[in-house]
Amino acid sequence: MTRLYDKVTLMNVPELNQKSDHEGVGSVETEVAHLISGTAQSYSEYSASALALLESFGLRSLVDKLQGKCVNTLFHTMTLSIALHKDYDKFLFWLEAIPGTEHTYTVVARHPPTFFKQVPKPSREVAFRVDPDAARDAAANGIELPLPDPELMNIRASCARAAVMSGAADQFRLLTEDRDDAGTLTDSDSAMHLLDSLLYAVSDHSYVRTLAPGA
């Protein structure tokens, strides 16, 4: 999203720090974002609900992968700057697949004039690729480096668009503001329950088709 390296990683991996110097690419603090965030929570009841809804989309194979320790696998995660991670949880932006181009997405913002003014400035198009050096090293050790799963990306985008169309994104903003005032809800609590509601909202397959990219 930012086209920058993770700052802590550069501190811990001298070779990567040298590569960033050679490329002239800076760094920023990043966090791991889960495509379906509820499945990564320790709340077993919510996690089971989210997984059940994913299965209703015909994604049984993905559900099997998401259960247990596989929830943190690369096909279910991406790294975002701290600011973008917060925006992602608030459904202020999402990624829509570009037809005919694998693992390439348009960044769709709820309010583009302000979203794309952020520093560091978000990209308007994102292409997920595996670094050739990392791919070579991983292959030598029998490790696969999958890219974020397109089906999960599509469901997340559908949820985000449903949030905007239904006004749920505004409700989430009010919840977080109430949390700041009262010190009750956490970001993860609010995002978790909102995403649960949105998964239910888009679990009707015809609605997902309506919201799907290019529809």
Using one digit for the tens of pLDDT, what is the confidence trace for 117-176?
998 899 999 999 998 988 999 999 999 999 999 988 988 888 788 777 766 556 555 555
- pLDDT at residue 44, rounded to an integer: 46
Regarding pTM above 0.85, the answer is no
| CA 182 – CA 106 distance, rounded (Å) | 37
- pLDDT at residue 31, rounded to an integer: 93
C-alpha distance across the termini of the chain, in Å? 24
Q: What are the domain boundaries of the chain? A: 5-211
pLDDT bracket for residue 13 (50, 70, 90): very high
65 dihedral zone (left: phi>0; alpha: psi -120 to 50; beta): alpha
Whether the Cβ atoms of residue 76 and residue 35 lie closer than 8 Å to each other: yes
- pLDDT at residue 147, rounded to an integer: 95
Using one digit for the tens of pLDDT, what is the confidence trace for 57-82?
666 666 666 665 567 789 889 999 99
